[in-house]
A = this chain, B = another copy of it.
Amino acid sequence: MTIHSSVILGTDVEVGEYAVIEMGVRLGDRVRVGSHVVIKEGTVIGNDVEIGDHVILGKRPGSNKKMARKPSNDLGPLTIDSEVTIGSHVTLYTGLSVAEGVFIGDHVSIREQVFIDKLTIIGRHAMIEPNTRIGKGVTIQTGCYVTADTTVEDSVFIGPCCSMSNDKYMASGKGTHTGPYIKQNAKIGNHATLLPAITIGENAIIGAGAVVTKDVPDGVISYGNPSKAKT
């Protein structure tokens, strides 16, 4: 392993083979770091955090000449609170904040300027874009795509392989970018499609495979393509 001399380690920290821990990283007590993990400059990790093998923590966003959204230079560090569990082959960016007790599955990637609140579960292979807030006790199942500029309130359930979008005009340069707003306790069936800027109401239920093109009021069950309220 390669640990920079400035790294601050808590008590009883275990670091796996061939791990790389860069300048200014802080690890709390009883943190377990898997093999081949890369923890980048300035990342802050609490107590009792488990980090699987082949994880990359604190990646800085990149870009090319065509990209509309240029990454900020001032994102702040990646911060991971206590009792978080991180699977294998995960990529977490700078400027992401993960609260206590969150579970992040294998092969997940989560971008900058995201907040994930306590005890939330992010399923394997899920993809979360920037500028997004995910509440407490949320379940985002395996293979979900959460677009940028999205809000997911507390206790929401999102089934496997759901997809969202945030740009009604599909990169035409018109309009603003707004993802869905999903209110508390809503449940979204697997493989559903959510269009930009829609609101899913409290306790609403979206059927599997639904294509949601309009707001869904509180408590309403909606399904189909385009999705319609059950009558």
Residues of A within 8 A of B (CB): 2, 16-18, 20, 34-36, 38, 50, 52-54, 56, 59, 62-67, 83, 85, 87-89, 91, 101-103, 106-107, 109, 119-121, 124-125, 127, 129, 137, 139, 142-143, 145, 147, 157, 159-161, 163-165, 170-172, 187-191, 193, 195, 205, 208-209, 211, 213, 224-226
The interface residues of chain B lying within 8 Å CB-to-CB of A106 are 59, 91, 109
Given A88-B91, A191-B211, 11 more A-B residue pairs with CB atoms under 8 Å apart are: A16-B20, A18-B18, A50-B62, A59-B106, A65-B101, A66-B120, A143-B163, A160-B163, A165-B208, A208-B211, A225-B225
Q: Are B119 and A65 in contact (CB under 8 A)?
A: yes
Q: What are 22 inter-chain pairs, A to B, with CB distance below 8 A?
A: A17-B20, A18-B18, A18-B20, A52-B59, A53-B56, A56-B88, A59-B106, A62-B85, A62-B87, A63-B85, A64-B83, A64-B85, A64-B121, A66-B101, A67-B121, A89-B89, A127-B143, A129-B142, A190-B193, A193-B208, A208-B213, A225-B225
Known: A18-B18, A91-B106, A157-B171. A64 touches B119 (CB 8 A): yes
The interface residues of chain B lying within 8 Å CB-to-CB of A187 are 170-172
